[in-house]
Structure 1
Amino acid sequence: MSKKSTEPGQFEQSMQELEQIVQQLEQGELTLEQALTQFERGIVLVKHSQQQLQAAEQKVQILLQQQGSEQLQPFSPQAGD
């Protein structure tokens, strides 16, 4: 297994890696040290992903304000999707 950087990449990659970590931890085949290392990596990924989501939400809020709408509207998919 290659060494992961301490700074996660894109959101989707972070989520995929987080899913892999959860699977490894659920299998229970890791040593205590390996499990702790994976858990720490998971915490880093979660924090970074939360920051990315907050930044995206802020961008959406700014775009809506520029359009004269100050609140997020619920998403409703169009018929036929």
Structure 2
Amino acid sequence: MSETESFEEEYDRLEEVVERLDSGRVGDDLTLDEALELYEEGVELVRRCRGHLDDAEATLETLEETTETDAEADV
């Protein structure tokens, strides 16, 4: 997985991982090692998605501050 994947790509993959973990039973369709690998991947994807959201929130806050500053300057 690349560090440059978009939020949407990583979120889609996270949904796939969760679906696979939910649908598989360890011992039947999923080995314990596979389940652990999927879980670890899911944790990493959650971390990356959270990072994307944090970045977006910071951008919105900056834009909001800029807009407020511009509005105050126009008064």
Which structure 1 residue ranges, 4+ long, deviate > 4 Å from structure 2?
none
Q: Which residue is 1:49 aligned to?
A: 49
Report deviation, 1:61.
Answer: 0.4
User: Which has the higher Rg, Structure 1 or Structure 2?
Assistant: 2
What runs of 5+ residues in structure 2 fail to find an aligned partner? 70-75
Measure how far apart 1:55 and its partner are: 0.7
Aligned length: 65
1:37 aligned partner: 37
- Higher RCO by CA contacts (8 Å cutoff, separation 6 or greater): 2
In 1: Cα distance, 2:4 partner to 2:44 partner? 8
Q: Can you list the C-alpha shifts for 1:20-60, whole angstroms capped at 9, x where unaligned?
A: 11111011221110000000000110001101100100000
The answer to which structure has the higher helix fraction is 2
Shift of residue 16, structure 1, vs aligned partner: 0.5
Using the size of structure 1 for normalisation, the TM-score is 0.73
Give the aligned CA root-mean-square deviation in angstroms: 1.6
Q: Percent identity?
A: 32
Q: What TM-score comes out, normalization by structure 2 length?
A: 0.79
